[in-house]
Each structure stands twice: as structure tokens, then as C-alpha cells.
Chain A
């Protein structure tokens, strides 16, 4: 068989889609068909619904899907991370049970990693998993869990051994959220929204076949999940976009996306809404003040160069070149942009920047920017952790001296969690 080329993949995908795409099918029915054809996740292994195509060719398939208006497999939210993680580390039984239903969108997921006592230091998780009788028993607390209130399953990182160094005592589980030992409480943020949850485990149970990889290998599995999460963060916007086409299948997809995206509705404000700056400056007349003009210009420069830097990274990736330093900066730069935008919005808005809700310009949007921006430099890796990552992995500077990974986790100083 000859190597697939862009032309051959495009022709084959197009032919299949033209013969099979039908917007009158139900969402799940269509996705099952798509998964069986191998065009749903063409870069995946042939044994698991894929065609083993290289990444750039997967984008060719996406283009063909878009051209004909076909709905793809479920990619939104944590299910994307769950599928990628299980594909890499799951047992055949787990793949069999979860991959297809995650791709069809029947199963939804949440990520149970962060804890009140371990934010930046995820490997310091203290949620406890003990094997009792014929099952794992879970006790502890997770936090910052997006979508836990409508998830079916959780990707759980828990401690199974306290007598070895921290990274070696973690295991990774698939946890059924719908059980009595699991309680989900919304967590209210400083901007008034409650996009995240606290999840409490009191003797929650996990059957042994839902342990992912071996006992004590949880950190490696979690790293895979996080890697996919960061990769997603770099390409924001690609997966949250619903089609505006009419028809049953589009309605179903729109509903799915709306549910998943609901917690993220303030995220544009978190990023600073640079898009509003010029129109607001003109509307308020502040664009005539030379000081304000300078501040706007600095912000636009930062925002544009951030965008171009991301495009440089993507272009290098598409050419199959090793990623340069420009690929690791996006997260840190986006917090700079957001902070600068909040400052300039304040400058433009003047006294009205003290107002909230209906009294605030644009029916509260400006106020929401001002009180949402602080999240960006914390969520998904703080600016400080990003700088450590850039200096250690990109610039190869010495790693932080540590006092926590050469001794049993039991002996490592910890937060007092009440």
C-alpha cells in the first residue's frame, strides 16, 4: 500500500463523506458511523477507530468535514483529555468501554487533580485510595473541577502509597461520579460565577479494573492528560465553536457544546477583551488623550505580537520542524495581555470602572473584565510555574532545588487542610 498523501487522503475522505454524511441522522448514530469509518479520529491507531495518519493530514480531513458541514466526534471539554489519556495508557477493556462512548459524546468527564492543598504542586495530592476487599476506597477532596456537576466519570489522581517519594505513590483511576460517596458542590468565584466545583469523597468506590496503568504509575498518566490540556490551551477556540447550520444533528451538537461551554462563558472577559478596546476608546472619546493612546498602542502591540508568535509556532509545527522557544510562551504572554487590557479598560472607562452589573458599561461586560482577569495568570499553571517551565525546559537552566522528592511523602511538610 502506498503512503497516504494530502491528495489521496482528501479524495478518500471526501468520497466517504459525500456518500455517508446525512444531517438527518441522530448525533450519536452519525458519530458511531463516523467512528467505524476511521475518519472520526484519523490520527488514532487502526485498532482504535483511527487510520494512523500524521497530524497535518488529520487537518486535511477536518477541512473536508468542514467543507461538507459534517459534524465531528465529540471533542469538547474534558472528554477530549480522557480519550487521549486512555488511548495512551488504558487497558484494552478500558478502551473498549470508554473510548467509543467518549467520542460519541455519550459519556462526559471531569478531571479530579487539583486539591486545596496542592495547586501548582499537583503531585502533592493527598486524596487517599486504599484497596479494601475487592475494591479501591477513596477519601479526600478535589477542587477546581470544571463540569463535575454534569460529568459521568472522573479522571482521578489519588495517593496509594505514603511511604515512597511523592511522585511514586500516586495512582490514576476512572471514578464513577454517580455514586453516594461522591458529593459535588459549586465553588463561587470572585466574579460571582461558579464555573468550578469542589468534589468530596467519603468512602467512594472504584473497581480494580478502573485503575489506569499500574499502581504507583499515576503521575506518568496524569502528565499525559496535562500535556493534552496545555496543547488544547494553545489552540483555544478551535473546539468550542458550534455550527450555525439548521437541522436536527446541528441542534443536538449545539446543545452539547452549550452545556460544555456554559462554565466558560466569562472566559473571553478573563482574557481581557482586547477586541473591545478601540471601539470603547472611540465611544468614550478617550482616544483623543495622548497618554491613553500610548497605552492602547502598547496593548495592541502586545496582543498582536502574541498572536503572531502563536502563528509562528503553529507554522513551524505544520512544517514538521522542532518547536522553537516561541511555542512555550503562549500561556505566560496571554496573562500579560489580559492584565494590560484590564488596565487600559480602566483607563478608558474612568469613574464608571467602579460600577458593576447593569450600571457598568456594556451591561456589566467591562466590570466582568476587571474582576475576571486575575484568574488567567493562575488557572492552568501560574505565571510563576510557567516561568519555571520556560527557564528549565526551553532555556535548560538548573531545576529548582527540592526537598520533597527524596523522602517518603509521609515526611514531607504539607498544608494543614481544615
Chain B
């Protein structure tokens, strides 16, 4: 297992950090979060044309860059740090990964290249209004007929679901339960019978949608009834990815709290000189560095397809969720009253921390999954 980044990876990270600092300052985040889409095509094209980020972990055969989850993790950590408003997690992380796991070679050849170039924005619709993150929660049905399938049901919490061009949907054979009868499908965003509504979300930098399928015609992706395995794998890889995104955001918050404490003067001295602040900052550093170790470990496990990935992905998701949220709470506290205002940027990251804590399963749920994976 890899415990340090190569110098090429470090170089990639620093290029990316500079790029995102320039393209995604807080002013840009605030502008985009007020729009209904939550991102703009022009900015999206720029990040893809200049750095080819949308295809980073997609194999070269399918039009991507051919890197692994460690490089994808670096991209996400830096995007999380910059709080980039873009459909990256929906399209590259969730949808492309699901297609890579579930699709046939022919389907990958057809679907992945436009995602890799960023021309197609895709997303993955798996969770339903019941808010479950496992296969058991899937109720949307896929009824076969004339070599096609018709989808009926409701998907919720779908990242960028109201703007995506292509939707990968997890649905089940009518009457099936649990892991049985699950399949992936693809549906165009403008398909007949599909109604999409942007949800009112706590984190406006990452939009979610509710999708209602009423007899929507869908293409089967991969094997009929064989969706459970690729779904489970996609969820683990996505959890590892989200953990990396979260530690980037947490590190950014930690630094901003430190910068503020060094500036803010009370009682004739900077608040950074008070031991209560110093100790809090030391604790924040511990939280963030431990969570980074977990996130990096999970990314390495995903890259190597390590047998321990199920446990490590859950460990990282739980650990990073708590570190991000705790860091966000401390950061507001260190800022004091100003930290609770709309004008101060802290709440932007706080809200991403809260949303990410729950998305893909909360820490308690993931800890239980980890215990089961380790046979405890």
C-alpha cells in the first residue's frame, strides 16, 4: 500500500491547487450557488479542456486519462478545498464509475468518451425518497417489453439530476427484493415521462434533484439482474472519493480558522496567542491529518482493488465525515459572531460538510458496515 505521493502526483496537486484557486475563488462559488443549475458550461469546459480532469480515472481505451483512484482522490481533495461548483462528483465519480463497473465494453465505448471530455454531463440515480444507501432501498421498477425497459418510480438526492444530460438509474425487476433483480439503465435527461425537480438543499454549492419516472423508456446497462455487485463496488469507490473531497474542504477550513485567529485582536493580543485557541488548532490538525490518512488509504485500496476496500472505504467515509463536520464547527466558533454571518465564507464549507456527512451514508451507518466487513 502506498503511504506517500510520488513527486509527479505532488506536482499534479500543486498545479491543480493554483488552477482552482484562480478559477474557483469564493466569489465564483457564491455566484454559481445562486443559479438554479449550480454550475456553468463555460467554467466546466475550461477545467476540462485545460487539465482533462473529467476523464482522470477513465481508461484511455474509453477516452480518459487512464489514472487511478489516487489521482482522482487528489483532484477531489483540491476541488473540495476550493469548493468548486461543478457536476464533477455526479458525472466523473458516480456515473462514469458506475458505467465502468456495470457496462459492457461496447457500452463503455459509447458512453464514456463524451463523459471523459466533459461534453456529456451524467449522473447516477440510485437513492429514493426513503433515503437508503443500500440495494434494499431500491423500489423503482424496470419492466421489460419489446427488447427495452420501462422505468417507474421516484429517485431522490440525485446530484445535478435536474441538469444532467445522461442519467444512470438503478432499478429492479418487478417483484424482486434485496440484491436480486437489480440492474443499471441509462436514460436521457429529456426522456419522455421523466419529470425532474431541483430540490431545496442545505448546500447550494452541490445541487440535488428529485426525478419521477413514469413509464420512461430506458436502455439496459450491463447484465439484467446483475446490478448488485457493480452497485456495491461503485458505492465503495464513491465513498473513498467523497472522503478525499471532504479532507480537502476540512483542511481549507482549518487553515482559514488559523489565518483568522492570527489576525483577530481581543484583549490587546491576537486570539491565536490564547492557549485555548492553540490547543483547539492542534486538535483540528490532528483530526484533519488522521482523516487524510484514512482517505488516502481508501483511495490506494480502490486503485489496487484491495480485498480490504469495503472496510477501508467505510472507515474513510465515517472518519472524514466527522473530521470535516468537527472542523467546520470549530471554524465557526473561532470566527465568533462573524462566523455565523452570510458574508463570511465559512458557512459555504460548513454546509458542504453537513451535506457530505449524510450523502452516501452517515458515519454510524458506515462504521457498522466496516465492522461487518471485518467480521466483528
Q: Which residues of A contact B (CB under 8 A)?
A: 278, 281-282, 287, 290, 293-294, 296-298, 300-302, 304-306, 308-309, 311-312, 314-316, 319, 321, 325-326, 329, 332-333, 336, 384, 386-388, 390-392, 394-395, 397-398, 400-401
Contact = CB atoms under 8 A, between A and B. Distances in A.
B376 A312 contact: no
12 contacts: A281-B376, A294-B364, A296-B376, A302-B290, A312-B3, A315-B4, A316-B4, A319-B4, A326-B293, A394-B285, A395-B281, A398-B273
Contacts of A325: 285, 289
A305 B291 contact: yes
Interface string B14-27: 00000000000000
Contacts of B111: none
Contacts of B374: 278, 300
Contacts of A297: 318, 367-368, 370-371
A329 B272 contact: no
A397 B273 contact: yes
Contacts of B278: 387-388, 391-392, 395, 397
Interface in B1-39: 3-4
A290 B3 contact: no
Interface in B66-88: none
Contact of A296 (B292, B293, B371): B371
B270 interface: yes
Given A305-B293, A308-B297, A332-B282, A315 B3 contact: yes
Task: Give me the 4 closest cross-chain CB pairs, A-B, nearest first.
Answer: A391-B278, A297-B367, A315-B4, A308-B293
Nearest to A327: B289
A265 to B, nearest CB: 29
Nearest to A319: B4
B275 interface: yes
Interface string B255-274: 00010011000000110110
A309 B262 CA distance: 27
Contacts of B293: 305, 308-309, 312, 326
Nearest to B286: A329
B279 A384 contact: yes
A305 B282 contact: no
Given A301-B315, A392-B278, A306 B376 contact: no
Contact of B285 (A305, A390, A398): A390
Interface in B284-304: 285-286, 289-294, 296-297
Q: Which of B4, B279, B370 has its CB near the most chain A CB atoms (within 10 A)?
A: B4
Given A296-B376, A297-B371, A309-B293, A395 B282 contact: yes
Interface in B332-376: 364, 367-368, 370-371, 374, 376
Give chain B's interface secondary structure class. helix
A115 B324 CA distance: 41
A397 B285 contact: no
Contacts of B319: 301, 305
B136 interface: no
Given A394-B285, A395-B282, 17 more contacts: A281-B376, A300-B374, A304-B294, A305-B294, A308-B293, A309-B293, A312-B296, A321-B4, A325-B289, A329-B285, A384-B279, A387-B282, A388-B279, A391-B282, A397-B258, A398-B273, A401-B273
A386 B370 contact: no
Contacts of A308: 3, 293-294, 296-297
Contact of A290 (B258, B273, B368): B368
Contacts of A305: 290-291, 293-294, 315, 319
B26 to A, nearest CB: 23
A405 B262 CA distance: 24
B232 interface: no
Nearest to A298: B367
A304 B376 contact: no
A321 B4 CA distance: 10
Contacts of B296: 308, 312
Nearest to B318: A301
A205 to B, nearest CB: 42
B283 interface: yes
Contacts of B370: 297, 300-301
B290 A306 contact: yes
Contacts of A391: 278-279, 281-282
Contact of B275 (A300, A302, A332, A388): A388
A302 B261 CA distance: 28
Contacts of A312: 3-4, 293, 296
A290 B367 CA distance: 10
Contacts of A293: 367-368, 371, 376
Given A293-B371, A386-B282, A400 B297 contact: no
A332 B290 CA distance: 12
A343 to B, nearest CB: 16
Contact of A333 (B286, B294, B297): B286
B277 interface: yes
Nearest to A332: B286
Contacts of B297: 304, 308
A218 to B, nearest CB: 28
Contacts of B283: 387
Nearest to A277: B376
A358 to B, nearest CB: 28
Contact of A294 (B3, B261, B273, B368): B368
B297 to A, nearest CB: 5
A397 B289 contact: no
Contacts of B261: 397
Contacts of B262: 397
Contacts of B285: 325, 329, 390, 394-395
Nearest to B319: A301
B367 to A, nearest CB: 4
A287 B286 contact: no
B183 to A, nearest CB: 32
A298 B262 CA distance: 33
Contacts of B279: 384, 387-388, 391
B73 to A, nearest CB: 14
A294 B275 contact: no
Q: Which of B273, B289, B367 has its CB near the most chain A CB atoms (within 10 A)?
A: B289
Contacts of A401: 273
Nearest to A293: B371
Contact of A397 (B272, B291, B294, B364): B272
A398 B270 contact: yes
Contact of A395 (B258, B292, B376): B258
A400 B261 CA distance: 15
B260 to A, nearest CB: 12
Contacts of A321: 4
Contacts of A394: 285
B77 to A, nearest CB: 14
Contacts of A306: 290
Nearest to B290: A305
A326 B296 CA distance: 13
A333 B285 CA distance: 11
